[in-house]
Amino acid sequence: MSWFQDKYNEFVNYITDPNVWINTSLGILKIIFILAIASVVVRVGRIIIRNAFRINTKSPLQISERRTATVAKLLENVITYVVFFVVVIMILGVLGIETKGLLAGAGVVGLAVGFGAQNLVRDVITGFFILLEDQFSVGDYVRLGRFEGVIQEIGLRTTKVKSWTGEIHILPNGSIKEVTNFSLSNSVSFVDISISYESDIDYAERVIEDLLDELPMRYEQMVKRPELLGVQSLGASEIVLRVIAEVEPMKHFVIARALRKEIKLRLDEHGIEIPYPRMVLYNREEMESKQVN
């Protein structure tokens, strides 16, 4: 009974000690102050990030709205996680818990996880810079190493590319070393036209030039009037003329096909022959009998 009485007296003395209540009150105030400051830091950080990206959308070097939102949200999350970690450490310090050992243990665990997941970390970091630098976006036609096609999806860890034959290639971002983007600037389509050696080159060029004057009004994908460069090469049985046209991004395949069709029809109208392989057969016996006669 005396042991219980002693413990009870100790408890009463503890809870009635003014210093305990003062220290407890100060600790609670410190925690509230830490949480308030952390909330303000997170809010201010988010405002700064949003304003920075809002200013960037008005600059000449613009990135897509989707990408802006993605990168902004990523940075907001990073700020939130960092502030949360600092808040936890500070609250533990207020509660009198030693944080040095905790930080040392977290460092060892983080180092082990880092070694085990270094490829994952590399993929995430590379994906972040792909988004930040606007190297390519969804819908762009690109070549990533040996893969070529249309970007279907961009993530922080992987990128999906759809080839023209329908396959979906999923590439870890860390493996993307070289990027060729065909959709950032205007494309150039070129067409080689063969005419026979018997044809009048000057006349053929005038016919083609007249046609090229008409084409920009028919094909809005053309940025400007196509250009006839002249004689490109002299083949075994034909003279090759080259025509180039600057077109909208990724429209060079379509315009090249249209140019071949238009030029072929116009040359046919003016009787300009496009050479094609011919095979001549003769009967040797008939030739010998004719020579005898």
Q: Are 221 and 251 in contact (CB under 8 A)?
A: yes
Global pTM value: 0.51
Domain count, the chain: 3
pLDDT in tens, 168-216: 998 888 888 888 888 777 888 888 888 888 888 889 889 989 888 888 8
pLDDT score at 59: 45
If asked whether residues 22 and 94 sit together in one domain, one would say: yes
If asked whether residues 148 and 239 sit together in one domain, one would say: no
Domain that holds residue 142: 136-181
**Residue 280, domain member (yes or no):** no
If asked whether residues 206 and 251 sit together in one domain, one would say: yes
pLDDT score at 60: 45
Beta strands (DSSP E) in the chain are 141-144, 147-154, 158-162, 168-172, 179-181, 187-195, 227-234, 239-247
**Residue 281, domain member (yes or no):** no
If asked whether residues 173 and 192 sit together in one domain, one would say: no
In angstroms, the CA 170 to CA 119 distance is 15
Q: Residues 114, 117, 122, CA angle at the centre, nearest 5°?
A: 90
If asked whether residues 102 and 37 sit together in one domain, one would say: yes
If asked whether residues 173 and 257 sit together in one domain, one would say: no
Which of 8-12, 141-145, 153-157 shows the lowest per-residue confidence on average (mean pLDDT)?
8-12
- The domain that holds 89 is classified in CATH as 1.10.287.1260
In degrees and rounded to multiples of 5, residue 42 shows phi and psi of -65, -45
pLDDT of 61 > 60? The answer is: no
